[in-house]
Structure 1
Amino acid sequence: MVETGGRDGGELDGFHVGRVPDGAGELVSDFASEWEDVNFASRVWERAVEDGYRVDLRVHVLRGERLTGLTELRDFLAEYHERDPDGWPLTEFGHGEGVGFVGEGEAFWLVRPGVAVDVLVDVERFGGELLPIAESISTVR
């Protein structure tokens, strides 16, 4: 269930981000990139701080043939984030569009083979908002 409050995050590469927490930065940027044959469509919410900018929220839509299952997605993201997949504490969770994993500051799920969503938050500011944000993301029909 999505909590009330926050603002709409708009559409990103075929997905609607239904919730951005109150207090998340107003500077919003979209990026397209590719890494290891997976295409990323990314939206980042930042805010100005004393020494520059701080990222509050990132949403990535990933598309690539190597994303065949949840294990392959986890392994890909572990490699991308330079994490040990065996030492990455994750808990399985059910998203309305698929099964995924959630850990400290990150939730990701496989929508269908070849398509996944990855959400990352600033844990200090929005750690409790992670699942409501993830649950608010849906395929645009």
Structure 2
Amino acid sequence: MVSDFATEWEDVRFATRVWERQVEGGYRVDVRVHVLRGGRLATLADLRDFLAEYHEHDPADWTLTGFRQGDREGLSDGAEAFWLVEPGVAVDVLVDPERFDADAPRVIAQSLVTLS
């Protein structure tokens, strides 16, 4: 099942697409892709700090690895991959780490195309 929705948190707007599957007792999210828009997302470091706060990660313990998303730098932790498309616009890909391997968020991210 695929669902789209919009939310806002701390002056950042989210447009989200979620892919989920039915499991016994309900549904389980396999993949989420957020497009984030907000003035506070000016740099990749700003995006990382925002997402650490949003996902309640301890920034000191959040181990991230760099990857290339076209001509942009991105960061990934094996369950999430994110990058800044341009100042104020970012993409965040999250996968179910119990279903997908640690390369999946980066592979999904690199398959996405941004339109101008």
TM-score bracket, shorter-length normalisation? over 0.9
Match of 1:45 among 7, 15, 19: 19
Q: For residues 87-130 of structure 1, what are the alpha-carbon distances to aligned partners after superposition, in whole Å with 9 as ceiling and x for unaligned?
A: 10101111105111010210000111000000000112122422
Number of the residue aligned with 1:84: 58
**What residue identity is the alignment partner of 1:139?**
T
TM-score (norm 1): 0.78
User: Where do 1:1-141 residues align within 5 Å?
Assistant: 27-127=1-101, 128-141=103-116
Contact 1:97 1:138 in 2 (8 A): no
Aligned CA distance change for structure 1 residues 131 and 43 (closer, same or farther; 3 Å): same
- Larger RCO: Structure 1 or Structure 2 (Cα < 8 Å, ≥ 6 residues apart)? 1
Identity, % of aligned positions: 65
- The alignment partner of 2:99 has SS state of helix
Instruction: Tell me how large the CA RMSD over aligned residues is.
Output: 1.1
Matching residue's letter, 1:62: L
Q: Structure 1 residue runs of 4+, over 4 Å off? A: none
Letter in 2 for 1:111: V
Residues 68-99 of structure 1: per-residue CA shift (max 9 Å, x gap): 10111000000000111111010111110511
CA distance in 2, matches of 1:103, 1:97: 20
Mapped partners of 2:50, 2:73: distance in 1: 16
SS at match of 1:67: coil
SS in 2 for 1:117: strand
Larger displacement relative to structure 2 (83-92 or 36-45): 83-92
Unaligned runs of 5+ in 2: none
User: Is this contact kept in 2: 1:98–1:112, CA < 8 A?
Assistant: no
Unaligned runs of 5+ in 1: 1-26
Paired residue total: 115
CA contact (8 A) 1:42 1:58 kept: yes
